[in-house]
Amino acid sequence: MTAAAAAETAQPRTERLVHAVNVTKSFHHNEVLKGIDLDVDRGQVVCLLGPSGSGKTTFLRCINQLETIDGGRIWVDGRLMGYDDRDGRLYRLKNKQIAAQRREIGMVFQRFNLFPHMTAIENVMEAPVQVKGEGKKESRVRAQALLDRVGLGDRCTAYPAQLSGGQQQRVAIARALAMQPKLMLFDEPTSALDPELVGEVLAVIRELADEGMTMIVVTHEMSFARDVADTVVFMDAGVVVEAGRPREVLGNPQHQRTKTFLTRLHSEHDHP
Amino acid sequence: MATDTQTRQAEPASDRPGRIDAVPVRHPGRWVAIAVIAVLAAMLVHLLVTNKAFEWSFVFEAMNQSQVINGFLKGTLLVTALSMIVGVGGGVLLAVMRLSDNPILAGVAWLFTWFFRSIPRYILLFTMGTLGILFQDGVAFGVPFDWKIIEWLGFSGDWRLFTLDANQIFTGLVAGVIGLGLSEAAYMAEIARAGILSVDKGQAEAAEALGMSSGKVMRRVVLPQAMRVIVPPTGNETIAMLKDTSLLVAVPVIGELFYQLQSIGSTYYKTFPIAVAAALYYLAVTSVLMVGQYFLERHFGRGFGNKAPRAARPAGAGGA
Q: Is B312 on the interface with A (CB under 8 A)?
A: yes
Chain B residues in contact with A117 (beta carbon < 8 A): 224-225, 300, 302-304, 319-320
* Domain boundaries of chain A, sorted by first residue: 114-180
Tell me what percent of the residues of chain A surpass a pLDDT of 90. 88
Q: What is the mean pLDDT of residues A52-78?
A: 95
Task: Please report which confidence band the pLDDT of residue B10 belongs to, taking 50, 70 and 90 as the band edges.
Answer: low
Model confidence at A271: pLDDT above 60: no
Distance from CA of A269 to the nearest CA of B (A): 30
Q: What domain count does chain B have?
A: 1
- Residue pair A160/A123 in contact by the 8 Å Cβ criterion: yes
**Residue in A204, A200, A164 with CA at minimum distance from that of residue A184:** A204
Task: Name the interface residues of A facing B (CB cutoff 8 Å).
Answer: 64, 66, 95-96, 99-100, 102-103, 105-107, 109, 111, 113-119, 122, 126-127, 129-131, 136-137, 140, 157, 159-161, 172, 175-176, 179
Distance CA B82, CA A133 (A): 34
Distance from CA of B206 to the nearest CA of A (A): 6
Model confidence at B95: pLDDT above 90: yes
Domain membership flag for residue B43 = no
Mutate to test the interface with B, among A66, A130, A162 (most CBs of B within 10 A): A130
Model confidence at B241: pLDDT above 90: yes
Mutate to test the interface with B, among A81, A113, A177, A187 (most CBs of B within 10 A): A113
Residue B137, class by beta-carbon neighbours within 10 Å (0-12 exposed, 13-18 middle, 19+ buried)? exposed
Give the residue numbers spanning the domain of B187: 78-253
User: Does residue B52 or residue B3 have the better pLDDT?
Assistant: B52
DSSP string, B275-314: HHHHHHHHHHHHHHHHHHHHHHHHHHTTTSSSSPPPS-PP
Q: Is B200 on the interface with A (CB under 8 A)?
A: yes
Question: What is the CATH number for B188?
Answer: 1.10.3720.10
- Residue pair A103/B211 in contact by the 8 Å Cβ criterion: yes
**Residue in A161, A167, A118, A157 with CA at minimum distance from that of residue B304:** A161
Domain membership flag for residue B36 = no
Sign of CA dihedral B290, B296, B297, B299: positive
Distance CA A80, CA A98 (A): 11
According to the model, what pLDDT value does residue B8 have? 55
- Across the interface, whether the CB atoms of B220 and A126 are under 8 A apart is answered yes
Task: Please report which confidence band the pLDDT of residue B168 belongs to, taking 50, 70 and 90 as the band edges.
Answer: confident
- Across the interface, whether the CB atoms of B205 and A109 are under 8 A apart is answered yes
Domain membership flag for residue B284 = no
**Residue in A120, A126, A221, A108 with CA at minimum distance from that of residue A164:** A120
Task: Please report which confidence band the pLDDT of residue B259 belongs to, taking 50, 70 and 90 as the band edges.
Answer: very high
Domain membership flag for residue B179 = yes
Identity of the amino acid at A162: Q
Task: Please report which confidence band the pLDDT of residue B137 belongs to, taking 50, 70 and 90 as the band edges.
Answer: confident
- Across the interface, whether the CB atoms of A113 and B211 are under 8 A apart is answered no
Residue A2, class by beta-carbon neighbours within 10 Å (0-12 exposed, 13-18 middle, 19+ buried)? exposed
- Across the interface, whether the CB atoms of B210 and A119 are under 8 A apart is answered no
Domain membership flag for residue B210 = yes
Q: What is the mean pLDDT of residues A43-54?
A: 94
Q: What is the mean pLDDT of residues A74-83?
A: 95
* Of residues B210, B305, B313, nearest to A157 (C-beta): B313
Chain A residues in contact with B304 (beta carbon < 8 A): 116-117, 161
Model confidence at B7: pLDDT above 80: no
Mutate to test the interface with A, among B210, B218, B299 (most CBs of A within 10 A): B210
Q: How many CB pairs under 8 A join A and B?
A: 90
pLDDT in tens, B49-58: 999 989 999 9
HSE-up (13 A, CA, CB side) for residue A174: 32
* Of residues A103, A105, A130, nearest to B216 (C-beta): A130
**Residue in B214, B207, B220 with CA at minimum distance from that of residue A109:** B207
Q: What's the per-residue H, E or C state across B239-280? A: HHHHHHHHHHHHCCCCCCHHHHHHHHHHHHCCCHHHHHHHHH
Nearest chain B residue (CA) to A119:
B303
- Across the interface, whether the CB atoms of A103 and B211 are under 8 A apart is answered yes
pLDDT in tens, B285-315: 999 999 999 999 888 888 886 444 443 333 3
pLDDT in tens, B177-208: 999 999 999 999 999 999 999 999 999 999 99
* Of residues B213, B225, B319, nearest to A122 (C-beta): B319
pLDDT in tens, A116-142: 999 999 999 999 999 999 999 999 999
Q: Is B32 on the interface with A (CB under 8 A)?
A: no
According to the model, what pLDDT value does residue B234 have? 94
- Across the interface, whether the CB atoms of B211 and A179 are under 8 A apart is answered yes
Task: Please report which confidence band the pLDDT of residue A101 belongs to, taking 50, 70 and 90 as the band edges.
Answer: very high
Model confidence at A252: pLDDT above 60: yes
Chain A residues in contact with B302 (beta carbon < 8 A): 117, 159
Chain B residues in contact with A127 (beta carbon < 8 A): 210-212
Chain A residues in contact with B203 (beta carbon < 8 A): 113, 115
Model confidence at A229: pLDDT above 50: yes
